[in-house]
Structure 1
Amino acid sequence: MLALRKTQPAPGLVLTDVPEPSPAPGEVLVAVEAAGICGTDVHIADWTAGYESMTAGMPVTIGHEFAGRIAALGEGALGVSVGQLVTVRPSTVCGRCAACTAGDPDACTGRRGIGIGRDGAFTRLVRVPALNCVAVPPSLDPELAAMTEPLSVSLHAVDLAQVRAGQRVLVLGPGPIGLGIAMFAAAAGAEVVLAGHGDTTRLAVARMLGPILALDLAGTDLPTTLAAHGQDEPFHAVIEAAGVTSAVQDGLLRLRKGGTFVVAGIHARPAPIDLTRLVRMEQTIHGAYRAPIADWSRVLAFMARHAETVRCMITHRLPLKDALAGIELSHKREAGKVILLP
């Protein structure tokens, strides 16, 4: 079967044929119906800093945002059935560390990521632990269900920022995670400003997701653009989803005293932070990376209520054979969410 793989610790991905897998005990085989291209997949393709741990698992099929129907059950696979539509939490836990044995899998220290440390979903069949499968409500189709994982990260970032109705929230970076953040913050009743640099397609998508002021900083800068739109007062919360060092520095300067700054972007190099100013302004910084398990059901419920709004995020649907073109669309920021249809 065709698969998109990372074969060596260097730039590039390879579309190649691989054998069909069989589920191990406690696992299931999922027939992938929709899989989303993530910023992580673009970083893996470019081989930017921070993904060196993948080397031990190569060659590995990438792709970790997906939904599909269970095609086969391994021995002892419980809580699922053949033919069931599921989405899959991509972080697999070890079951053996102190956190796992204490009943706290969110704190597992022996994780392996589907599509990073073990074969992922940019293919037709993928084996996953049954425990990682999350049932999809009947009202949702696979392409929306495939967006559960990135939207869980977006929701987690909004939760960490403690966004409430009436607050002003600045979101930096209109990629899929940033779009989801802006959508959830607007749904919470906040006044939301989303900024990007030349992201014409993504900013247009943002305007379809709610009452969001989407601003293009191309040819100018953040303070000038905010002032021109009457948004020069400091924000209650700033959420960075650009993965750009300057966005961290610029965003902190737009945060009010006592405000919360959330970093959801993945950065290739450290960002300098003025800690003296942070202390005197009594501000808080959070990192948002992996959402708690409980957030997945919240995201699925939100999508069931707002299915057509969420669907606006999907700008491209491609067959698996065109996966490299989808990676390039995402790399050039010419797409909202690209969905592959194996």
Structure 2
Amino acid sequence: MLALQKMQPGAGFELRQIPEISTLSPDEVLVRVRATGICGTDLHIAAWTPGYESMQSAMPVTLGHEFAGTIVAVGANVDHGMVGMNVTARPSVLCGTCAACRAGDEDNCTGRRGIGIGRNGAFASHVAVPEANCVPLPSGLDFEIAALTEPMTVCAEAVDTGEVATGDRVLVLGPGFIGQGIALFCEAAGASEIVICGHNDGPRLATLNAIGFKNTVDTAGSSLRDALASYLERGGFDVVIEATGAPHVVPEALSCLKKRGIMVIAGIHPRPASVDLTVLVRNHQQLRGSYRSPLATWGRVVDYLAANQQRVRGLITHRFDLGDAAKGFDLAQSKTASKVVIQHPQD
């Protein structure tokens, strides 16, 4: 089968033919992949930015961890009745042996391996995943929408971490897919005002406008505070959620936060950010990191996607076949695309 693989450390990836999956571990299932999203993590791995050195031991490894498909075979310990079930999957595979796993504290496993990072992923026609990682999909949920579940759980976790509540004014920094999903979950949480900022981000801000978010700001040619002047006249924001991955944004973003406000960092940053801790302390502000969501969030996100399919579909701006994955990666790296999905042929 054709697979997109990371072959060795350094920039790049390779589309190559690999053997079909012929055997499963007792607790695994085989998923026929229908749709796979290109994620920021995939872009970092392709560019080989710092932070992914641990995956070298798994190379060559098939990339792709945002996906949905149909179970077509099961391991010896898995109920055969799961064959034919449509699923997505949590990409974080537990080690089962660390102290947290032995204590039943799955969210704090220290030996986890990521599907598409530490073990083969879903930029291929089939992927083997642990049955325990599978999340069933409701009838009628399109595969391309279901493939967005994992990144949307990241968005929901950022909003939960910020404790966004009814009536809050929220500033979202970064109009890429994660920022877009954060805006949707801020809305669902009851925020009274959601302002989304980008920098030279016309196409992605237009995508947000098209799905109903009118308070969008492009900071090109201006400082963040100047671009937000009309909003800041009414005071700082209750919550600021950063999804840019740009360290220089952090200090000025904190200046847009009200006293006792919460700022959430959801972006992955290539270098440290500089923060004036004295100002943070005197303003009694909180700076919180947000990353992987707990298991309980997945069902909530699947339900949200099923109830809002057409609106969420507006975030998928480009679709490619696996053979054209390089084109998809190039677009995903630009500020033209919101979400790029690799589609796999139906039987």
Compute the TM-score of the two structures, normalised by the length of structure 1. Answer: 0.97
Match of 2:252 in 1: 250
Q: 1:194 aligns with which of 166, 172, 196?
A: 196
* Counterparts of residues 208-227 of structure 1 (less than 5 Å): 208-227=210-229
Partner amino acid, structure 2, of 1:8:
Q
Task: Give the corresponding residue for 1:128.
Answer: 129
Q: Percent identity?
A: 53
SS of residue in 2 equivalent to 1:317: strand
SS in 2 for 1:121: coil
3-state SS of 1:261 partner: strand
Identify the residue that residue 237 of structure 1 maps to in structure 2.
Answer: 239
Equivalences for residues 2-81 of structure 1 within 5 A:
2-21=2-21, 22-78=23-79, 81=82
Deviation at 1:31, TM superposition (A): 0.6
Tell me what 2:333 maps to.
331
CA–CA separation in structure 2 for the residues paired with 1:80 and 1:40: 34
Whole-Å separation in 2 of the counterparts to 1:193 and 1:247 = 15
Amino acid corresponding to residue 298 of structure 1 in structure 2: R
Q: What SS does the aligned partner of 2:42 have?
A: helix
Q: How far off is 1:291 after superposition?
A: 0.4
Match of 1:282, SS state, is coil
Structure 2 distance, partners of 1:231, 1:156, is 29
1:303-337 deviations in Å (ceiling 9; x for gaps):
12111111111111110011111111011121111
Determine the structure 1 residue equivalent to 2:163: 162
Structure 1 residues 287 and 115 mapped into 2: Cα distance closer, same or farther (>3 Å)? same
Q: 1:147 to 1:79 in 2, by over 3 A?
A: farther
SS in 1 for 2:185: helix
2:81 and 2:207 map into 1 onto residues whose CA distance is: 35
After superposition, the Cα gap between the structure-2 partners of 1:230 and 1:208, relative to the gap in structure 1 and judged at 3 Å, is: farther
Q: Distance in 1 between matches of 2:149 and 2:303?
A: 10
| Aligned-partner Cα distance in 1 for 2:234–2:326 | 41
Which range moves more in the overlay, 182-191 or 121-130? 182-191
Which has the higher mean CA deviation after the structures are superposed, 219-228 or 57-66? 219-228
Whichever residue aligns with residue 199 of structure 1, its letter is D
**Structure 1 letter corresponding to 2:249:** A
Whichever residue aligns with residue 194 of structure 1, its letter is I
Aligned 1:143-162 pairs, distance under 5 A: 143-162=144-163
For 2:194, what is the secondary structure of its paired residue?
Answer: strand
- Residue 268 of structure 1 aligns to a residue whose secondary structure is coil
Q: Is the 8 A contact 2:2 2:15 kept in 1?
A: yes
Cα distance in 1 between the residues matched to 2:62 and 2:174: 27
Q: Which string of whole-angstrom CA distances, capped at 9 and with x for unpartnered residues, describes residues 223-265 of structure 1?
A: 1111156666211010000100012122111111101010100
Q: Which runs of 5+ in 1 are unaligned?
A: none
Q: CA deviation at 1:141?
A: 1.0
Q: Judge conservation of contact 2:248–2:274 (CA < 8 Å) in 1.
A: no
- 1:186–1:210: 8 Å Cα contact kept in structure 2? no
Normalising to structure 2: TM-score of the pair?
A: 0.95
Question: What SS class does the counterpart of residue 297 from structure 1 fall into?
Answer: helix
Give the letter for the 1:148 counterpart: T
The equivalent residue for 2:313 is 311
Aligned letter for 1:58? M
Match of 1:260 in 2: 262
Which stretches of structure 1, 4 residues or longer, exceed 4 Å deviation after superposition?
228-232
How far off is 1:154 after superposition? Answer: 0.2
What is the distance in 2 between the residues matched to 1:19 and 1:64? 20
Deviations along 1:185-228, one digit per CA (max 9) or x if unpaired, are 12222110000111222111112334441111122221111115
RMSD over aligned Cα atoms: 1.4
Hey, what's the Cα distance between the residues in 1 that align with 2:7 and 2:38? 18
Q: Does 1:141 align with 2:142?
A: yes
User: Secondary structure of the equivalent of 2:329?
Assistant: helix
The letter for the 2-side match of 1:152 is T
- 2:292 equivalent among 282, 290, 293: 290
Distance of 1:328 and 1:104 partners within structure 2: 39
Contact 1:182 1:212 in 2 (8 A): no
Structure 2 partner of 1:106: 107
For 1:55 and 1:110, the matched residues in 2 are separated by 15
CA distance in 1, matches of 2:102, 2:123: 32
Q: Give the drift of 1:83.
A: 1.1
Q: How many residues align?
A: 342
Deviations 1:139-159 (A, max 9, x none): 211111100000000000000
Distance in 2 between residues matched to 1:54 and 1:192, nearest whole Å: 37
Residue 80 (structure 1) shift: 6.1
